[in-house]
Structures are given as structure tokens and as C-alpha cells.
Amino acid sequence: MLIRIASVVVVAVAGCGSYTMYQTAEPLPLNRWQLAVASTSGELFDVPQNTWTPTTGIELASRYGVGGDTDVGLKLYSLGAETSVRHRFAAGTWQWAGLLALGGVRTRQQLETTDAFTAHLRVAAAITRRLRPRFALTFGPALTGSLFVPAGGGSAAGLLLGAFGNAEWSFGETARWHLMPEISVHGSVAGDVPVEGAVVMGGLAFSRDF
């Protein structure tokens, strides 16, 4: 139930987008809002250069339920933005939902970044098992395609295949407060955007429903 429509993300050092989900397979009910804050850190491993590059970010989030087992999202980064849609296909003991996100990051020429635009499209699935009314586990696969376009011309692309997992604790008198730690691991299967290697991210999100 974490991070349901818009999230503001500050991603530093690596100048790449966030690969976190902070979502379960449970969309918000119709007309329900959620606000959240999350902190995420990670590492990008470049196989050809045998180097690790750190990335870190703060996410301020909100999400909105549009009905029909669907909610929508928007991440606003310090460097770019991401829109998203989540739709639940199956409920019950095991719930699963499809997650679709489209975003981009604009970086300027600095010590650790290049003057360029990077776009990404991510397709993922969230599989949730609610073990108790206030505790749920979620995991699922994710496929992310990225396109890197530098200001000087040319382009590069890449495809990442990975998975994520998180746990959600709900608390408060009406269980509208949520705490969610998450970890995700992604490996490149084609190209070298954002890296020819691996991306590992982990973080913690805190949210409230309205």
C-alpha cells in the first residue's frame, strides 16, 4: 500500500532514476489519497570497468485511487519525473497486480554527471501475501528499458531485468500509517544504460492514507 500516486525523488551522485517500487498489489480505493516519504540508496556496478557507483535519494510521495482496482502515480525527481499506473488482476490470499511506469531524468554537465536526457519504461508485477491484517509481504519481477541521449548527439540504450521485495507494516488506530522496507536487484541483459552490469537498491518508505 506504499507510494500510490505521485512521488518526488531526489537522486544524487549517479544521476540515474530510481528503480524502487514501494508498492504492494493492493491499489488504493476510489478517491483515496496517500502521502509518503522514502529514503533510498543503491549501487551501480559496471562490469567492463569493474567499478561501483553510489546513488542515493529522498522520495516525497502521494498516490490516488481511480477505481476499478486501479491507481495512478507520478514521481517528481530533482532531475526528472516518472508517471505510473497500477492495476490489480487478482485478489484473495495471493494478490497480484501489473505495474507500468514511464519516466525521464535530465542531467547537466557536472563532476559526476553528463549533459543528457535519459528516458525509461518499466513493466513489473507485484505479488502480495497479507499474512496479517496489518502486515504484508510483496515481491515480483521488473523489466526496465532505458534510452540515453547526450546533448552532444548520439544515443545508447539498455535493458535491465530484475526483482524486488518489500514488507509493509500498517499501524495506528485505523491502520492508515504504513512503514515499508524494500530491496531490489537488477542485471543488464542488453546494452549499457544505465550500466552494463547490475543495479542494487534498498530503502525505507513511510506513508499515510487520507
Residues 6+ apart with CB under 8 A from 126: 21, 23, 24, 25, 86, 96, 97, 99, 138, 139, 140
pTM for the predicted model, two decimal places = 0.88
According to DSSP, the β-strands at 70-77 and 6-12 are: parallel
- CATH code (residue 100): 2.40.128
Domains held by the chain: number: 1
According to DSSP, the β-strands at 177-191 and 197-209 are: antiparallel
**Does 68 reside within a domain?**
yes
**Does 133 reside within a domain?**
yes
Residue 91 has pLDDT above 70, yes or no: yes
Better-scored residue on pLDDT, 142 or 5? 142
Q: What is the mean pLDDT of the chain?
A: 89
Range of the domain at 61: 6-209
Distance CA(126)–CA(79), nearest Å, equals 27
Eight-class DSSP state of 37: E
Tens of pLDDT, residues 129-184:
999 999 999 999 999 999 999 988 999 999 999 999 999 999 999 999 999 999 99
**Does 1 reside within a domain?**
no
Whether the Cβ atoms of residue 196 and residue 13 lie closer than 8 Å to each other: no
pLDDT class of 7 with cuts at 50, 70, 90: very low
